[in-house]
């Protein structure tokens, strides 16, 4: 199979198809759907997949071997490389392989951790002993002091906050992966926030996690709402008069003015807990709970922050590699959507998502098309947050 991924949109395209004899048309789901991989791939090989994804997002070349539970004697080989002319595209192939990655006997870790190759800070923590098993050069440049290597989680955590790191690590141990914002300290810095991805890389002897920084500066992306949209005074007044969040979101959906729309979502970003909470109206109300909680890892919010996006348009969810598309959108019948982020200072706090049950439902200029919704949406969210306090 020859494939490529448009990284900002997390969109997978299969250039030359190949069907595994046992998986058939579902073969490409190995690259798209984490839950499918968890079912089909041998547990000890899943870490290599997560490491591959980290390296891919850093636009570096990567290669790995993995086995299916149903056919462990015939491993598969996955490799990828950055497109030479387009930094937003990552290319790759998947085929049968007859070699296997070896185990790093010194640390008891599969070579799939690849921490030395990453340009962003990566380290492996033994959560039982609260020690740092190993780390790469990028991590050392941040946390090491002169002639003093980092040895303990207290060396990288602000005073009294190491338990928060361990809490996130425990979540990764239980759920295989965790994504969100944590506080760190190093090289004389009092503390700083970093968006990280934590992956379970335990072996038979110890509970261990691999923590990788998402190499994305936290800058304000959004220009002022007044500068990028013509405000709809009438709609602002209408949503202000709504008694609750549900009715206000319904009012926004009614004024979206696109025939193919089937629903509207508000995603509340809770970065410090590695979660997003999603509220949906329209036809989505029949298919999803009110205020569903999802992991931040693999979400629209993560893609927006990682790739510095002003908005995100997904034409076909079935081509996506984002976990949230397979967990939230596809099971509810959503095939395409447009998402617009909203910030408070430098922090992403909210995402407005317009959904359709049909693919390719949104125009390429959707960001301008839906401008009249932005200020009313901000008003709705601000009022909702005030009432929550």
Domain spans of the chain, in order of start = 2-101, 109-213, 225-388
Structure tokens at 116: 């030395």
Examine the pLDDT at 113 and tell me if it is beyond 80: no
The highest-level CATH class for domain 225-388 is alpha beta
Confidence of residue 228 (pLDDT cuts 50, 70, 90): very low
Higher pLDDT, 271 or 356: 356
**How far apart (Å, rounded) are the C-alpha atoms in residues 212 and 369?**
37
Structure tokens at 74: 């015939």
For residue range 275-313, list pLDDT tens digits in order. 999 999 999 999 999 999 999 988 999 989 888 889 999
Percent of the chain with pLDDT over 70: 88
CA dihedral 100, 92, 9, 314 (to 10 degrees): -100
Kindly state the average pLDDT of the residues 360-374.
86
* Bridge partner list, 348: 343
**How far apart (Å, rounded) are the C-alpha atoms in residues 9 and 6?**
6
pLDDT at 103: 40
Confidence of residue 43 (pLDDT cuts 50, 70, 90): confident
Distinct helix (H) and strand (E) counts, the chain: 12, 18
CA dihedral 89, 94, 100, 106 (to 10 degrees): 20
**Which of the given ranges, 214-223, 254-263, 313-322, has the highest pLDDT on average?**
313-322
Kindly state the average pLDDT of the residues 71-92.
87
Helix (H) or strand (E) holding 34: helix 34-40
Structure tokens at 239: 């949503």
**How far apart (Å, rounded) are the C-alpha atoms in residues 18 and 25?**
9
Examine the pLDDT at 203 and tell me if it is beyond 50: yes
Confidence of residue 117 (pLDDT cuts 50, 70, 90): low
Examine the pLDDT at 260 and tell me if it is beyond 90: no
* Nearest residue to 209 via CA among 140, 153, 159: 153
The highest-level CATH class for domain 2-101 is alpha beta
**How far apart (Å, rounded) are the C-alpha atoms in residues 272 and 181?**
5
Higher pLDDT, 313 or 117: 313
Confidence of residue 27 (pLDDT cuts 50, 70, 90): very high
What DSSP character marks residue 24?
B
Structure tokens at 10: 């997390």
* Nearest residue to 235 via CA among 346, 100, 373, 133: 373
Examine the pLDDT at 115 and tell me if it is beyond 60: no
Structure tokens at 140: 């050392």
Q: Are 52 and 78 in contact (CB under 8 A)?
A: yes
Q: Give per-residue burial for 246-264: e unless 16+ CB within 10 Å, then b.
A: eebbbbbbebbeeeebbbb
Higher pLDDT, 124 or 363: 124
Kindly state the average pLDDT of the residues 27-40.
92
For residue range 125-176, list pLDDT tens digits in order. 999 999 998 888 778 877 876 667 888 898 888 887 889 999 999 999 998 8
Examine the pLDDT at 254 and tell me if it is beyond 60: yes
Kindly state the average pLDDT of the residues 313-318.
92
Please give the angle made by the CA atoms of 238, 304 and 315, to the nearest 5 degrees: 80
Structure tokens at 63: 């290669």
Kindly state the average pLDDT of the residues 229-243.
79
Give residues with Cβ within 8 angstroms of 242, minimum separation 6: 248, 251, 380
Examine the pLDDT at 100 and tell me if it is beyond 70: no
Confidence of residue 190 (pLDDT cuts 50, 70, 90): low
**Which of the given ranges, 55-59, 84-88, 241-245, has the highest pLDDT on average?**
241-245
What DSSP character marks residue 295?
E
| Domain 109-213 fold | Beta-Lactamase (3.30.450)
| Average of per-residue pLDDT values in the chain | 84
Confidence of residue 112 (pLDDT cuts 50, 70, 90): very low
pLDDT at 389: 63
How many other β-carbons are positioned within 10 Å of the β-carbon of residue 40?
21
pLDDT at 154: 87
């Amino acid at each position: 199979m020859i494939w490529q991924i448009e990284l900002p949109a997390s969109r997978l395209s299969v250039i030359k198809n190949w069907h595994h004899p046992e998986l058939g048309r579902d073969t490409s789901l190995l690259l798209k759907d984490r839950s499918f991989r968890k079912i089909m791939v041998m547990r000890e090989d899943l870490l290599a997949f997560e490491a591959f994804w980290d390296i891919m997002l850093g636009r570096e070349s990567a290669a790995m071997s993995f086995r299916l539970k149903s056919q462990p004697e015939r491993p598969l080989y996955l490799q990828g490389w950055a497109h030479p002319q387009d930094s937003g595209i990552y290319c790759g192939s998947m085929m049968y392989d007859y070699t296997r990655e070896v185990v790093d006997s010194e640390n008891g870790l599969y070579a799939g951790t690849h921490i030395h190759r990453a340009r962003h800070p990566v380290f492996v923590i033994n959560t039982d002993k609260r020690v740092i098993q190993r780390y790469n050069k990028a991590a050392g440049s941040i946390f090491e002091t002169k002639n003093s290597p980092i040895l303990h989680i207290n060396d990288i955590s602000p005073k009294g906050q190491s338990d928060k790191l361990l809490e996130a690590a425990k979540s990764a141990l239980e759920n295989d992966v965790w994504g969100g914002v944590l506080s760190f300290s190093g090289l004389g810095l009092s503390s700083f926030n970093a968006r990280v991805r934590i992956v379970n890389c335990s072996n038979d002897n110890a509970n261990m996690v691999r923590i990788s920084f998402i190499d994305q500066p936290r800058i304000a992306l959004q220009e002022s709402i007044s500068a990028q949209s013509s405000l709809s005074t009438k709609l602002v007044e209408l949503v202000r008069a709504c008694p609750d969040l549900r009715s206000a979101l319904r009012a926004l959906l009614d004024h979206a003015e696109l025939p193919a729309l089937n629903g509207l979502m508000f995603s509340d970003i809770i970065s410090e807990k590695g979660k997003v909470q999603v509220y949906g109206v329209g036809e989505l109300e029949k298919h999803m709970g009110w205020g569903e909680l999802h992991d931040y890892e693999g979400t629209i919010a993560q893609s927006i922050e990682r790739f510095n996006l002003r908005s995100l348009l997904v034409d076909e969810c079935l081509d996506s590699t984002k976990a949230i598309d397979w967990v939230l959108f596809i099971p509810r019948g959503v095939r395409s959507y447009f998402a617009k982020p909203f910030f408070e200072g430098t922090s992403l706090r909210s995402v407005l998502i317009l959904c359709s049950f049909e693919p390719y439902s949104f125009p390429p200029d959707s960001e301008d098309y839906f401008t009249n919704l932005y200020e009313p949406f901000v008003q709705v969210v601000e009022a909702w947050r005030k009432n929550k306090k």
